[in-house]
Structure 1
């Protein structure tokens, strides 16, 4: 052994080494025994009193893994879990038409119309991933990890051979992660608050597609943090002016003094992936950065 390695050798066994070595004798290996190491005792960690520790772990795990993988900048894609890919929506409409039920047909037609947002989310994610891949600071797409618009966001990155992040959460009804998240970047949360914090910690932009309560919650928390100066300003792009204008009466909020006239400029409406990319590119100069990185000394 190189004697110089002794200069940085561990003085104590690691926690993992102790956990593997601390095998209890037969008398103390039963479920009622308190002999297990505290950090290897799942029953102990799940006690009500250990909530602060669990919250800290849920903050640290995604943070440390993303830091180790060199992820510094992300674009967050929010949107409904109920928006289907165009092919699926088209097939559902065909089945509905066979049924002859006008109510079912009308709903299927609306779902096919909304599926355009799945396609745009997929396209935008592919653009962001591919066009920033060679930058010194690549940009990664992060979603809530589920189906619908979330799936489209992860899928776009997957299509161009890139990595993407999924922040899934345990829900009363089953929600499995979609199939397009990079496995080592697929996280599961218990606490909504910590999940939402991780959405914003590395984000340089928020892209919000049509959605329901969850999407609105995430959108308005971001708007509130920026409006109140609790976090830095960043582009908030809302896909589909018609949807958002019908859903939220922004003019009424201004007229009644609930928000300031300038607050309307905290976000921008967009209709396509190309338009969204142009805004992000203008904000951060991705094209110029790629050219500068390509011309840097030592670049082949």
Structure 2
């Protein structure tokens, strides 16, 4: 495969909760997420597209490599997206070089097999919630290493890190760790633009109308009690939100495009019959 054009029809997504789709739908009705949305956009231009999503919430970069790389290679994707590392930087011990080493290995294996690979950079979480300000240097270090690894292997990078809109609270779910449905749609559009998908452009980075509503001190306390506290509790107990879960879409299945005549929110990617526990 040459250039940024996609000529074949197998897309496999690897990653953690963002790629799984947490924040866009729920576990009872099914998660959608940016990778599902990207698959629907791809299917408009690539009839017959088949798509698998191997992502599982809570996974560290090393777990993505250990658990998802071999199954992805077995599916022989034409396109793969690899997004991981945020769960690592949220841990007390964070080694940017170690995380980058895992991502580099995944990039190397997929591109060596002939897949076009795409990834993205992460926004500074301190701009989403002030309590996360100490994580800013970690985000910067991770993004720098993602770019370096991507350059080595010819991986496409959707640069979502520095655009002001990505920290607009309306693009984030209530837990401030996962994108909202609108945020997932913007991520999908950003990756489509980075891949030079026909019809894509840079409008995904345009600011939303009206001023964003920033959290108040009371809102910060409620967030800490409702989301941060339980998250810390799981870490102390050695638990993960992904314990006992498997990939929602482990095999390549067909995708219906979302386009003219099909409303936004229509099911192009139906995971209901394949979702893991």
TM range (shorter): 0.3 to 0.5
Structure possessing the higher relative contact order (Cα contacts under 8 Å, 6 or more residues apart): 2
**TM-score, length basis structure 1:** 0.32
Provide the TM-score with structure 2 as the length reference: 0.34
- Greater helix percent: which structure? 1
